[in-house]
Chains A and B, each alone.
Chain A
Amino acid sequence: MKKWFKPAALIALAVSLTAGGASVASAASSLKGKIVINGSSALLPLTLQAKSEFQKLNPKVKISASAVSSIAGPQSVRKGIADIGAVDWDASMDVPGFKKFDGQVANPVAVTVFTAVVNKNVSVSNLTTKQLQDIFSGKVTNWKDVGGSDANIVVVNRKFGSGTRVNFQLKALEGKDFMTKGDNYKETGSSGDMKTAIETTPNAIGYIDLPYVTDKMKALSINGAAPTEKNVLNGTYKVWGIGYFMTKGQPTGATKAFIEYIQSAKFQNGSLKKLKFIPLAAVK
């Protein structure tokens, strides 16, 4: 309906039909600025989609979005190289393994569903929490021990600092430790790398956020519940978390406008759901 943040002084309801030529050209005032975003690779597709839509409303706002890991988000804000740090947990509070980032404000943007995934050649479709704990700790090493074929399990883990790893460990493994080394163990640096590893490694198991799941892998049910929005909302699927945009203090200017756009009903109910995230309002 309206341009997002055109100055109020420019808001004129009347439409004039002017005969003759154009007025003298000069740049119209509108929201300007540059927003640098870094952090969670799980949130990057969402950020880039929002960027594409937001820039059509505010062409003079340049948005530079990159990703490496969740912890790099608030670190980038603290270091002063990003305006927004995308992270898969509330980094303004202590969480296991990570201290809070003082002075940063956690702006919630999306609910992310995380899922255990396996290579297409794995016949198992459901694992219990105990089975997941045993596999990711290295206690169970063969698929036949959890109802699958006789084949060694390849465990693919995310590196320390990953928000997906934090959420998966807390909610799928209920805090149990990961294995850290072994012949059939590997670590990946980003959601994209995890996707590639699972797609291309027979007998592999890993975990990823739902938007990254492709038809070249299989998302597992956990304790009989498939990783769907419906099961998150009815409480049967527990492995989800809220993604945040961390800012140094309360956001202002273009950064504030961009966060408000992502939090708007139009984006939350539209593109955000299309990308298989869950609107914030759905879990309140």
Chain B
Amino acid sequence: MVMKKAIAATILAAALGTAAAGTAGAAQLSSAATAKAVTAKAVALTVKQSVFVVNYNDVQVRTALSNGETLVSVRDLSAAIGAKLSAVNGYTTLTLDSHSFAFKTGVKQASVDGNIINLNQAAKVLDGTAFVAVKPLVQALGGTMALKDGKLAINTIKLLAGGDNARFVNASQAIVSVETDAKRTDYLVDVATGKSAELLSSEGGSDLIVAPGGAKAAYTDAEGAVYVIDLASKQTKQITSDTSIKTELVWSADGSAIYFLQGDKGSVIAKVDIATGTISKVVEDKVDYKSALSVSPDGKKFAYLVTTPPKATADGTDLDKDTVAIDASGEQVQVNLYDASVEKPAAVALTSAKDDKLFVVSPDGSTVYYVSVADENANATVVSVDKDKKTATLLAEGDVEELVLSGGKLYVLTAVSDAESAIYEVDPATASKKLMYNVSASASGLAVNGSQIIIALEDGLYVNANGAWKPVTR
């Protein structure tokens, strides 16, 4: 980086020198005279304190108006945006990420990433500090400028590209994943500013499952070993090296254990103790194809789906006869409840209808909420079923696409027209529902943390901040 700064300054010097080729003395004289004139003229300019909104925060910076342009204290702005300042041979260089801006007071040119640009006016020294026109400086460093509530808003945060699958960690951070052909990289993203930091890069690892409280997250590697990552320190700890297939991870309410479905068919509900790595089987009832596991806060009740595939038969003795047959009469997906606190625990099917059941959630392991899709031509709805097998339709507005649970309330993304979807909040205790927002029909990937909502649109993830949608990725 130091080398780059030096090179930038050298290039600028070379370019300016070229203009005075063969008359070095004159050029120096001319340059000195210009600087002197600028300094003398600058005395007439007024330096004032201004408030810029820099990367979503109000920041005081010194400014001056000169020839219709706003000049800004290079020192103040570099501090606000986190740019590095350095001085080599009279040239000052600001560097931010992969960009650099090098200038010299009294000279109407600057070097941007090693390329010479012309400035409307030379950088000036006012009250003993350097001032440069704010617009070319911000643009050179890859930032954007806009007016917001009468203030100049400068944004130099580079939004994460290609982010997907947002999950809130806490009120200010979310985990966002970026998939490539070779691997998945998870980032911690500040939902207020979009600033991101790499958290974990993995090949074949499961999604990160955030623990209650948001201090850590769990995942399995491609072999099935379980790890926990501290989201503050980014330190990872292996909990167990057991390589059995673990298709879903669910944190216990107190964060002391992780429940999971074990085996290729998800037949067993097991748990691993975070402190000891000990694995114990909780439900082993030889019922295959469990999925969508929810665990009650006391770790006693387990709600999940059980898929019964169609029965297929084939007589392979004469291959040309195609004696294969599929009997789909018994095919079904049902919500099951297993209460380990009773004397003789056994799974109980709470539902019997043959609809598809998606986005299954259960805050208490007893009452289960899900999106019911009866068939391709019927609108999907949000349905509840309690431990006594009583079902109720909680939301039938539009054609429900997604359902998430946050803070005991349900949040529903539902298509209300060909062009629009809507986000509803449903209080399961009262069955009351409230329309929160209408969004583009392309919205998906709903994530909720209290009043904060993230959705994915075609061009990135957006968070709702005070009623307005703001990009957090691009």
Contact = CB atoms under 8 A, between A and B. Distances in A.
A234 interface: no
B312 interface: yes
B310 A17 contact: no
Contacts of B141: none
Most buried by B among A10, A36, A78: A10
A251 interface: no
Contacts of A229: 222
Given A15-B469, A23-B420, A82-B326, A269 B358 contact: no
A275 B416 contact: no
Interface in A111-164: 159-161
B458 A13 contact: yes
A122 to B, nearest CB: 20
Interface of A: 1-3, 6, 9-18, 21-30, 32-34, 36, 38, 44-45, 48-49, 52, 55-57, 59-62, 64-69, 71-72, 75-76, 78-79, 81-82, 98-99, 159-161, 192, 211-212, 214-215, 229, 265-266, 269-271, 273-276, 281
B328 interface: yes
B449 interface: no
B456 A2 contact: yes
A59 B179 contact: no
Nearest to B441: A10
Interface stretch (B124-132, B209-217, B232-240, B397-405): B397-405
B369 to A, nearest CB: 15
B442 A11 contact: yes
Contacts of A30: 401, 415
B182 A27 contact: no
Given A1-B164, A55-B356, A26 B376 contact: no
19 contacts: A2-B442, A12-B419, A12-B441, A13-B442, A22-B416, A23-B416, A28-B415, A28-B441, A32-B376, A45-B264, A55-B373, A68-B313, A68-B314, A72-B312, A76-B312, A269-B182, A269-B184, A270-B207, A274-B206
Nearest to A60: B376
Most buried by A among B245, B264, B402, B456: B264
Interface stretch (B31-39, B251-259, B317-325): B317-325
Contacts of B388: none
A36 B328 CA distance: 10
A64 B375 CA distance: 13
Interface of B: 162-164, 179-184, 203-204, 206-207, 220, 222, 224, 244-247, 263-265, 288-289, 291-292, 307, 309-314, 316, 319, 322, 324-326, 328, 331, 356, 358-359, 371, 373, 375-377, 379-380, 397-402, 415-422, 435, 437-445, 455-460, 462, 467-469
Contact of B310 (A66, A79, A265): A66
Nearest to A14: B440
A26 B265 CA distance: 37
Nearest to B183: A269
A64 B420 contact: no
Contacts, number: 230
B437 A48 contact: no
A193 B18 CA distance: 83
B313 A275 contact: no
Contacts of B181: 265, 269, 281
Nearest to B467: A17
B309 A1 contact: no
Nearest to B371: A59
Given A56-B359, A68-B312, A10 B418 contact: yes
B309 A72 contact: no
A25 B457 CA distance: 21
Nearest to B468: A17
Contacts of A2: 442, 444, 456, 458
Contacts of A15: 439-440, 443, 455, 457, 462, 469
A106 B328 CA distance: 25
B459 A13 contact: yes
Contacts of A27: 377, 379, 398-399, 415
Nearest to A78: B322
B424 to A, nearest CB: 8
A273 to B, nearest CB: 4
Nearest to B380: A59
Contacts of B356: 55, 59, 62
Contacts of A9: 418
Contact of A159 (B203, B316, B376): B316
